[in-house]
Amino acid sequence: MANTLLFKKAEEHLVGGVNSPVRSFNYIGREPILIKKGSGSRIYDYDGNSYIDYVLSYGASILGHAHPGVVKALSSALKNGFSFGATNLKEVELARLIKNAISSIEKLRFVNSGTEATLSATRLARAYTGRNRVLRLKNSYHGHADYLLEEIDKASIEEVFKKSGNKIAAVIVEPVGGNFGVVLPDTDFLKRLRELTKEYGALLIFDEVITGFRFRYGSVSDIIGVNPDLICLGKIIGGGLSIGAYGGGKEIMDNLAPLGTVYQGSTFAGNPIVMQAGIATLEELRSKKYEFLEELAGRLAGAIREEAKKQKIDLEVAHYRTIFSVRFKEKAKFQAFYKKLLKRGVYFAPSENEANFVSFSHTRKDIDNTIKVVTNALGEI
């Protein structure tokens, strides 16, 4: 099969044959599929198989793959050059769109990935407060540099602040978790965290790399009613291309060079190609009804939950608005379930720790077909 041969070739040149560990399918216990192209709600491998895609570049492709409006915008932008190492008006326009959509952002800075966004935001917090400790919650994920942060348990947050609150620069948190399965927002906890950080002069950073523009046109912070000092963004705001951003109030953001002393630069940040993809995506999203995504995700998540209950299969479906995850009590059953989905043309995230997403290219028929596949797969494991 082409996929098998191509993955062997990939292993010769790429570490583990991949550029991100989850793509290896190690969790599934089989070789991965290699993707040749994507269109709308579907992706296609090198053996000619098509799959209804619920990974969507881990949430980045909210309009679906190769959306005509984004493709047209990119085709136009490519004619004028790729990257200049100088400011262009496309980055100004995308920044304006983001600012207008998110109430707590007065200024922002573009970077190239979510990891860069969270890393840069925590550096800025340290400089602004003159403190070094940055806390993150257990089982959260803020990019592959988050080992630099101090991990704490949610239950111990009050005690940590009482003991050493004057040494804490910031707390960074995913308001809705998406990297340990879907973790629903704990609004009471987030409100208390906002009170604690204000009381002790620390910053509250929301990592909305996944959630920004995922549940509404804007941030999840405006849904739950908690305004952080800094917000980190990525994925959707780049229209499927590599991007990150972090923003907040002027008083904090103006500590970045050239206005302040915190140096953070980049060769490719704000390049007109990514900016144009982001602009086209956000302009398209402004007229979209997120209730449609909620309907699709809710139907699918609910059907998985009900079918598992009917067949007495021990699994947990975590669902929030437009995202969901599935976790089996036994890993072997998830592996068997996943392989049966693939065989029948449904592509879920190849790890129970990852979220699944729907796009505006998905249809009710896609969901109907997926429910049939899920029902059969659960009946066979």
Q: Which residue of the set 207, 229, 246, 347 is catalytic?
A: 207
Q: 146 pLDDT band (50/70/90 cuts)?
A: low
**Active-site residue 141, yes or no?**
yes
Domain boundary (227, 260, 285) is at 285
User: Is the Cβ–Cβ distance between 145 and 269 less than 8 Å?
Assistant: no
Which domain range does residue 265 map to?
Answer: 68-285
Instruction: Specify whether 243 is located in the same domain as 347.
Output: no
Give pLDDT tens digits for 152-163. 888 899 999 999
pTM comes to 0.95
Instruction: Specify whether 128 is located in the same domain as 168.
Output: yes
> Is pLDDT of 139 > 90?
no
Give the residue-averaged pLDDT of 199-210.
Answer: 98
CA distance linking residue 110 with residue 122, whole number of Å: 15
Instruction: Specify whether 58 is located in the same domain as 135.
Output: no
Instruction: Specify whether 75 is located in the same domain as 179.
Output: yes
Q: For the chain, what is the mean pLDDT?
A: 96
Q: Which residue of the set 54, 90, 128, 235 is catalytic?
A: 235
Q: 147 pLDDT band (50/70/90 cuts)?
A: low
139 or 368, which is more confident? Answer: 368
Question: How many domains in the chain?
Answer: 2
Instruction: Specify whether 50 is located in the same domain as 163.
Output: no
Tell me what pLDDT residue 254 has: 98
60 or 140, which is more confident? Answer: 60
Instruction: Specify whether 124 is located in the same domain as 254.
Output: yes
Tell me what pLDDT residue 22 has: 95
Which CATH number do you get for residue 335? 3.90.1150.10
Give the residue-averaged pLDDT of 197-224.
Answer: 97
Q: 287 pLDDT band (50/70/90 cuts)?
A: very high
144 or 214, which is more confident? Answer: 214
Give pLDDT tens digits for 297-342. 999 999 999 999 999 999 999 999 999 999 999 999 999 999 999 9
96: exposed, middle or buried (Cβ count in 10 Å: 0-12, 13-18, 19+): exposed
**Active-site residue 138, yes or no?**
no
Instruction: Specify whether 255 is located in the same domain as 323.
Output: no
Domain boundary (285, 307, 325) is at 285
**Active-site residue 309, yes or no?**
no
Instruction: Specify whether 201 is located in the same domain as 277.
Output: yes
Q: Percent of the chain scored above 70 by pLDDT? A: 99
Give pLDDT tens digits for 82-134. 999 999 999 999 999 999 999 999 999 999 999 999 999 999 999 999 999 99
Instruction: Specify whether 125 is located in the same domain as 260.
Output: yes
> Is pLDDT of 148 > 90?
no
Q: What residue type is assigned to position 87 of the chain?
A: T
Strands in the chain per DSSP E: 35-39, 42-45, 50-53, 107-111, 133-137, 150-152, 168-173, 203-207, 230-234, 244-248, 315-320, 323-328, 346-347, 356-357
Q: Which residue of the set 27, 141, 246, 320 is catalytic?
A: 141
Domain boundary (285, 300, 318) is at 285
Which segments of 20-80 does DSSP mark as H helices, in order?
A: 68-78
Give the pairing of strands 230-234 and 203-207: parallel
Which CATH number do you get for residue 262? 3.40.640.10
Give pLDDT tens digits for 217-246. 999 999 999 999 999 999 999 999 999 999
Reduce the DSSP state of residue 14 to 3 states and report it: coil
